[in-house]
Structure 1
């Protein structure tokens, strides 16, 4: 998602009177700006940075939901709604089969032997290219499964 699209959605939510959605989008926008400043490109915020900000906010909201006491119904509902809003705008993540195909392709391209001893080398090659496209834990699990089958 581009920064412009994010701003447009925030303005639309504001005009519609959807306070929570406006708040969530504003938070993502703020996180994206901060991430861009850290990377030294505050005037040119890429889609990659915006997507990373969305995923960061989604992770934070999920953690807040998980740690919220069960008797706090209002907060539980708010966190659940935040997660739903963030999932609507979050980039689509690769599923297990897509990750599997990608891992095998990258291993072949880099001439890495599929043995347990090379797991670190495989992860080193794969992780940067899948950042923001796939869940890191799932990637790790898929690599372990591939190595077990070899």
Structure 2
């Protein structure tokens, strides 16, 4: 079942369960995917749906950090709920050790030796971990290895 199909089914389940918070998040994610589909002018494939889902997750994660630093606990609680719901639709996230293994493998594969090769290595890593790892974690680990 496609992500959009899964969202439709979960939206119906949330309506039946009268879970307003979950229903709201599912509707937001579904709308984001549909908007992207309209922008593209065609149906999204599963990889494009995953990209939209990852973007929504990342936006909320960034907002969470800002709200926490501003002391807005009322908004933090709501965002945590949204993050949990969105996370259910993302692929299982890689651990830092798994990401490090991929980074080391790609460095050896590309023959990267310095920070000047950073972009070349990232270009190879990102498609391998799409939706499964945060880009900032990958970047941090890669910088450590290339320094």
Give the TM-score normalised by the residue count of structure 1: 0.78
Residue of structure 1 in register with 2:100 after alignment: 100
Aligned residues of 1:29 and 1:50 also touching (Cα < 8 A)? no
5+ residue gaps in structure 1?
A: none
**Mapped partners of 1:40, 1:103: distance in 2:** 36
In the alignment of these two chains, the number of paired residues is: 144
Please say which structure displays the higher CA radius of gyration: 1
Cα distance, 1:71 vs. partner? Answer: 5.5
Residue of structure 2 in register with 1:141 after alignment: 140
Give the TM-score normalised by the residue count of structure 2: 0.79
Aligned residues of 2:33 and 2:52 also touching (Cα < 8 A)? yes
Residue of structure 1 in register with 2:52 after alignment: 53
Cα distance, 1:114 vs. partner? Answer: 2.7
**Mapped partners of 1:144, 1:87: distance in 2:** 27
Residue of structure 1 in register with 2:123 after alignment: 124
1:4-83 alignment runs, 5 A limit: 4-42=5-43, 45-68=44-67, 70=71, 73=74, 75-83=75-83
5+ residue gaps in structure 2?
A: none
**Mapped partners of 1:114, 1:79: distance in 2:** 40
Cα distance, 1:55 vs. partner? Answer: 2.2
